[in-house]
Amino acid sequence: MDIKDIIKPENLVYKKTDLMTDKILSYCPGCGHGTAHRILMEVIDEMGIQSETIGIAPVGCSVLAYDFMNVDMSGAAHGRAPALATGIKRLWPDKFVFTYQGDGDLAAIGSAETIHACNRGENITIVFINNGIYGMTGGQMAPTTLEGMKTSTSPYGRDLQTMGNPLKMTELVAQLPGTWYVTRQSVHTPRNVRRAKKAIRIALEAQKEKKGLTFVEIVSNCNSGWKMTPVKANEWMEENMFPFYPLGDLKVEGKLVNNQ
């Protein structure tokens, strides 16, 4: 049997969405960015809104997201993606506009743009990849870095006294009246991937109703920055990141979920 005999439409069980380009991903093997890209593009594909979608890439490891995502996109300056998205959405209120941002981008340098876009209730979707570290620049401390966590700029571990506390940006934006849907997900197991994808769908669908800003955090790994194998990184994430950044919805249809 030749390989051509196997690759037939009727045998197809899974196909890469056309909304991911054929460019080779620049991410480290095992990194969550690739999966997050894929499910975001799958949702846009399934909703049939490619021609209505405008995305904003950040500065961070996903700076080249526009090379991988087959939708019209703009690359923002570090942290400014929500401002770009605001400018676009105000002029194109019927388009679907999303930003894709890391934790340095969104929670440090772009914290003002994030909070104000959320507070104004811009009808955009923010996908927030929280890996607790600056991946792109070589593993420096991020606002989200956990207590005691070692990074290249906290080589003895994050000291809360001198370096401040890890910032729960998602909890913070959930408090703002402009946010409609706020959730925290992960993409490290097939089950979590399915849930995260569902969350992205809810977030993008809400743009149709112009209900306000939708915010999907994805707690992710940075095996290179954390200096771990991909498998170990996922274990470490479950043991350390999830207790501090618990998965689940924080705000649904404009209402805070129980203990938030």
Partner 1 sequence: MKELRLMKGNEAIAEGAIRAGCDAYFGYPITPQSEVMEYLMAEQPEKRTGMIVLQAESEVASINMVYGAAGTGKRVMTSSSSPGISLMQEGISYCAGAELPCLIVNVVRGGPGLGTIQPSQADYFQSTKGGGHGDYRLIVLAPASVQEMFDFVFTGFDLAFKYRNPALILSDGLIGQMMEKVHLAEQRPRLTEFDPSWTITGKTPDREHNIITSLDLDAARQEKHNQKLQAKYQKITENEVRYEELMTEDAEYLFVAYGSSARICQKAMQLAREQGIKVGLLRPITLWPFPVKPIAHLAPKMKGILSVEQSAGQMVEDVRLAVACATPVEHYGRMGGMVPSPEEVLNVLVNKFISK
The residues binding ligand TPP (CB under 6 A) are 59-62, 78, 102-105, 129, 131, 133-137, 142, 222
Strands (E), the chain: 53-57, 72-75, 96-102, 125-130, 133-134, 140-141, 179-186, 213-219, 248-252, 255-256
CB of 109 to ligand TPP, least distance (A): 6
Maximum CA extent, the chain: 66
Q: Which stretch binds partner 1 (CB under 8 A): 79-87, 207-215, 226-234, 238-246?
A: 79-87
What's the Rg (C-alpha) of the chain?
18
Closest CB to ligand SF4 among 33 and 80? Answer: 33
Name residue 239's amino acid: E
From partner 1, ligand SF4, ligand TPP, none, interface partner of 70 (C-beta below 5 to 8 A by class): partner 1
Q: Does 31 bind ligand SF4 (CB under 6 A)?
A: yes
CA nearest 131: which of 34, 6, 222? 222
CA–CA separation, 216 vs 68, rounded Å? 20
CB of 78 to ligand TPP, least distance (A): 4
The DSSP bridge pattern shows strands 213-219 and 140-141 to be unpaired
Q: Which stretch binds partner 1 (CB under 8 A): 87-95, 147-155, 176-184, 200-208?
A: 87-95
Q: Does 28 bind ligand SF4 (CB under 6 A)?
A: yes
From ligand SF4, ligand TPP, partner 1, none, interface partner of 113 (C-beta below 5 to 8 A by class): partner 1
Q: Which residues bind partner 1 (CB under 8 A)?
A: 21, 50-54, 56-57, 63-64, 66-67, 69-77, 80, 83-88, 90-92, 95, 112-113, 116
